[in-house]
Every structure is written in C-alpha cells, then in structure tokens.
Amino acid sequence: MSKRLHNLSKFNLPTVNESLVILFILAVGLIALNLPKPAKNHIVGEQKHYTQKPSAVINKPAVTTGKPPKVNVTPSNNPVPPIVGGLAPVISTIPTQEPVVFLGIDDGANKQQFELTMMQQNNIKASLFLANIFIKDNPQFFAQFQTEGSIIENHSLNHLIPFNHLSYSEQVSEICGQADLEQQEFGVRPTLFRPPGGSYNVDTQRAAATCGMKAVVLWIAKANGGSMQYQIGKGLRPGDIVLMHFRPEFQSDLQAFINAQNAAGLHTELLENWLK
C-alpha cells in the first residue's frame, strides 16, 4: 500500500505548466456554465414541439411483433389460404419476395443437447413437427426449443406411412390425438400438420381442418444426409419451406441448410409468423 501511495505522489503531482493548463480549463468551464441559458430554452421548445413524436416511436415496435430485431422484414400480406369446403389448404412455399426461408424439423427421434445449442448460436427458430412415437420417451427435451422461440407442430401420433392409406377416421385419430397430446405436454395447441412421409389426400385435408389445423404443410427443399436437395432449381428461393429431421446427421444437415440460406442471401423466419 505504502509503495502504491509513493508511486501516486511521485507521478501525479502536476508541474507548474500543468497547473496553469488545469486552471485555464477550470476557468473556461466556469464561463461555459453561465452561457447556455438561451440554448437550453431552445431545446425545451423543440421537445414541446415534437410531443407527437415519442408516441409514434413507442408504437413502432408493435408493427414488427415477433420479428428478430436485427432484420427489418415485415411478413408479406399473404395470409394462409382459407379452409374451403372443410379442407385445410396444402402449402409448400409462401408467396413472398422478402429474403426469407422457413425450416421445419420433423419426427424427434434424435435428442441431443447440441441440437438446441446449434440453433441458438445460428439464431434459427423452426416449426418442430413432432410425432408421439418418437418423442414419448422425453417430450420435455423439445420444451427447451419452445422456450427458445421454436414452435411445436403436429406430425401425427404414430407416424404411419403411407398416411393417405389410412381411413378418414384413422387420420382424424392420428391428427387430433397428437394435437391434444401436444396441448397437454407443451401448453399450446399446434396449428399446422405435416403428414408423415408427405403423402396426403382429401381426407387428410378434411381431418386436419376437423382437428383445428390451419394448413397441411409440405416442403419444397430438404436438408438430408448433410446436403441440400431441391424440388425446383439449385438453391433456396424466398418463401421456400425446408424439411429437416432430428436425426444423427442433425449437425451436417443444419449446416447445409445454413450454408444454403447464406448463399441465397436469405434468413430463417418462423412459418407461423407468415401464416396469420
């Protein structure tokens, strides 16, 4: 301690020249303190003049509800196609020119903590189309993804393939059963249904609507075996819905998706935010 004090006194005592400089600065400061009354009044006047502006600023974030703050994209005005004649619409892409893609991750068989971490690190939220047969050993694993902003969706109870070979009542049982179960397990009822294997028929559309689903969601590209596969073209396009799975290849699949997203100048949005 004494050594430190010694050092302070040794190095901090101002010289005569330094003292003059300090006095000069103090003097200028004292003068400045007495000067700014007109300027102060001017600022107050301006604040009064712009009383409307703060309320406009406060209202602004409400317009971008649910959007990641770093990207300034507003969901396009394309609401989900309506349920017509008791049939839920089938969608595999969203009609938009905004630089966005959508990711659905299916089944839920592979449950490893790094999957959550990798999505967090890459700021990716997805629709998780889960089937009870794959998640029943540890459904709460997926509650963590829900906490991080992903949304739990419906992929049927037992993942029976081909799904469109089931009767209407069997499809209702599979879709409503999973919706009820997810509502109990995760506290939110799903609104989207993805048929196992992607096969569907009119009964699927009718059963989905009966169970309260807003749409039957397919895909137009997939991340599979560590690479991307496209139904159209050679890259992701705005509005594409991408399929992935909770599989052992999760890391290489998600990386392939992220690379494709970046190469196309797109970023991932939640499908649910664009299907209001």
Give the span between the Cα atoms of 148 and 134, in whole angstroms: 21
253 in contact with Zn ion (CB under 5 A): no
222 neighbors 197 (Cβ within 8 angstroms): no
247 neighbors 253 (Cβ within 8 angstroms): yes
Identified binder of Zn ion from the candidate list 107, 182, 253, 272, rule CB under 5 A = 107
Identified binder of Zn ion from the candidate list 80, 106, 115, 146, rule CB under 5 A = 106
Q: Kindly indicate which of the ranges 9-17, 100-108, 144-152, 198-206 contains the residues binding Zn ion, using the contact rule CB under 5 A.
A: 100-108
Q: Kindly indicate which of the ranges 101-109, 134-142, 163-171, 208-216 contains the residues binding Zn ion, using the contact rule CB under 5 A.
A: 101-109
Of the CA atoms within 13 Å of residue 182, those in its CB half-sphere come to 32
| DSSP 8-class letter at 84 | B
Enter the tokens of residue 8.
């302070």
x/- map, 176-215, Zn ion, by CB under 5 A? --------------------x-------------------
Give strand pairing partners of 154.
Answer: 130, 193
- Residue 182 Cβ, how far from Zn ion at the closest point, in Å? 15
- Residue 167 Cβ, how far from Zn ion at the closest point, in Å? 20
Tell me which residues in 111-170 interact with Zn ion (CB under 5 A): none
- CB nearer to Zn ion: give 200 or 266: 200
- CB nearer to Zn ion: give 222 or 267: 222
Q: At what angle do helices 140-147 and 113-121 cross, to 10 degrees?
A: 10
- Residue 168 Cβ, how far from Zn ion at the closest point, in Å? 21
DSSP output for 88-119: --EESB----SSEEEEEEEE-----HHHHHHH
Site residues (vs Zn ion, CB under 5 A): 106-107, 196
